């Protein structure tokens, strides 16, 4: 038996343990029923339960549920639209959400599958600093999907993001063609 001030009281008969608990206006709680002899403690059980619930709430508050955000694109996407979608994806990855890109082909656009693959490769390259490919590009009917999960390392993400912006600026200054 353990007393109200966490002192060892030794092996005590149940009737005596209940008397000690009532003298202190506390509860007798069985802490470890499987041990031989069972371990009991004199404590305020309602306060103990409240503290446990408080700990659970604190742990629950610190947990973050990762959501799957979807971004829809088409094979003939303009540069500005591409940059907007890329910025959205960077925001989602910074918030530790997964991003699923759906590249839709309409009508006869399916014959331009290579162009769709190039766009998704470019997206994966631009987001490589913030996330890694969780599910590689896969064709499902008229849709190619790729899932990118956030990286756990925060230190390298800002450097790579700056590097991809520098590469984009360099490409545009050289007159490079972008999709």
The partner residues of 92 in beta bridges, in order of sequence, read none
Q: Are strands 68-73 and 98-104 parallel, antiparallel or unpaired?
A: parallel
The partner residues of 69 in beta bridges, in order of sequence, read 99
Domains of the chain and CATH, by start: 14-62 (3.10.20.80), 68-173 (3.30.110.10)
Cβ(147)–Cβ(98) under 8 Å?
yes
| pLDDT confidence of residue 170 | 45
Angle among Cα 51, 55, 60 to the nearest 5 degrees reads 145
pLDDT tens digits, residue range 38-86?
A: 899 999 999 989 999 999 998 888 777 778 999 999 998 999 999 999 9
Band (126; pLDDT cuts 50, 70, 90)? very high
Cα–Cα distance, 45 to 140 (Å, whole number): 57
């Amino acid at each position: 038996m353990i007393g109200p001030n966490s002192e060892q009281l030794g092996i005590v008969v149940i009737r005596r343990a209940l008397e000690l608990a009532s003298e202190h206006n506390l509860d007798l709680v069985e802490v470890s029923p499987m041990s031989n002899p069972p371990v009991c403690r004199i404590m305020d059980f309602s306060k103990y339960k409240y503290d446990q619930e408080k700990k659970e709430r604190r742990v629950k508050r610190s947990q973050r549920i990762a959501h799957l955000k979807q971004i829809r694109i088409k094979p003939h996407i303009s540069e500005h639209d591409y940059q907007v979608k890329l910025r959205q994806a960077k925001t989602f990855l910074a918030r530790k959400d997964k991003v699923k890109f759906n590249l839709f082909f309409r009508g006869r656009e399916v014959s331009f599958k290579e162009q769709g693959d190039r766009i998704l490769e470019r997206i994966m390259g631009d987001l490589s600093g913030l996330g890694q490919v969780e599910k590689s590009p896969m064709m499902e009917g008229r849709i190619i999907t790729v899932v990118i999960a956030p990286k756990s390392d925060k230190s390298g993400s800002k450097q790579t993001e700056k590097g991809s912006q520098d590469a984009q600026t360099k490409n545009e200054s050289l007159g490079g063609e972008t999709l």
